[in-house]
Amino acid sequence: MLKFSYCNATDLNQALVQCRFAGSFGPLSSRRRSPRAVVSCSRSNLTPIQAVLSFQQQIGSDPVESELGSLADRLRLGGLTEDGLSYKEKFIIRCYEVGINKTATIETIANLLQEVGGNHAQSVGFSRDGFATSPTMRKLHLIWVTARMHIEVYKYPAWSDVIEIETWCQNEGRIGTRRDWILKDVATGEVIGRATSKWVMMNEDTRRLQKVSDDVKEEYLVFCPREPRLAFPEENNKSLKKISKLEDPVQYSRLGLMPRRADLDMNQHVNNVTYIGWVLESMPEEIIDTHELQTITLDYRRECQRDDVVDSLTGPELAEDSEIHGTNGSATAITREDDLDCHQFLHLLRLSSDGQEINRGRTEWRKKPT
């Protein structure tokens, strides 16, 4: 049985850190809620602990209630790290999260990344409505939307395996922020995956991108690492690679995909994890049967609505440093000898009606372990 000493913490500050500042956001939905309450602290002179305490005081939070937290907060196997600048949570892989390979699917991994990101946002006092919005963002009707997602899985966990995911966020340009993750096998401590993403700010009413204001930055940067921390610090790593557009004619396709009601999120548009499933729908069966997904990168270019019909297109990616040979105008990539078991593909999701680009993707596949 896993035991967590932080559940018995007596020091309020320690309990707030280790128990995810449990309940610090509860008063937002109570009668004492103040719609104008913001964290008016400077990143330079307050620690993350002090920032949350300041936030609680402004909205009238009861420290005793905060320490106890909700039932979900107390049962969740996670919390902020000691410095308050990242969040870790443990997950048990359930039987319904396992696919044909008898391991967690890539959709399961992506959903867990989304879950731990949302829990991190809640733990520092941001909204419980799933949008991870700060008080200023809610006042101005601003939301975060995914612009890019990059996931690398080195070893897929199996049913009943326990994994730990650490996440943190930091500033990324004028209109965005980035969130990174590291996945570990709890039993061995081995890093089994990494991921990074870019999110941009959008006006919920006009659906237009908007610059991240200084007021919004002040609210969330206090909870970010002081120095840049990257899940992929390597120079020229794959998360930085530009995705070329897949052009017609394509080798593989799956046409006429339609969103189900279960695919819609709280913004009333298709959840970003659904796009992963659509991308994989047009993968050739011979690859699915013999290989497993190693890397996936998605660029989100357009929102998909409930009534949209989507085409999924896939084609092999020509290696940048490969020799190109062809007959009758057709090109064939010659794979390097050490990559014979690795295959790369480009993907495109577009509207069936007018061909507008929804999502551009790239995947790498390795031979399934024996």
Number of other residues whose CB lies within 10 A of the CB of residue 65 = 16
Q: Which of 150, 269, 343, 347 is catalytic?
A: 269
Q: Are 298 and 276 in contact (CB under 8 A)?
A: yes
269: annotated active-site residue:
yes
> Which of 23, 33, 116 has the alpha carbon at shortest distance from 70?
23
Q: Which of 13, 101, 111, 267 is catalytic?
A: 267
304: annotated active-site residue:
yes
Q: Are 302 and 358 in contact (CB under 8 A)?
A: yes
Q: Which of 271, 304, 343, 347 is catalytic?
A: 304
The secondary structure of 167-179 as a DSSP string is EEEEEETTTEEEE
Residue type, 160: S
- The DSSP secondary-structure symbol of 352 reads T
Which run of H or of E encompasses 318? Answer: none
Q: Are 296 and 276 in contact (CB under 8 A)?
A: yes
> Which of 179, 297, 190, 182 has the alpha carbon at shortest distance from 237?
297
237: annotated active-site residue:
no
* Residue 22 falls in which region: left (phi positive, over 0), alpha (psi -120 to 50) or beta: beta
> Which of 60, 66, 52, 69 has the alpha carbon at shortest distance from 34?
60
Question: What is the C-alpha end-to-end distance of the chain, expressed in Å?
Answer: 31
- Residues with active-site annotation: 267, 269, 304
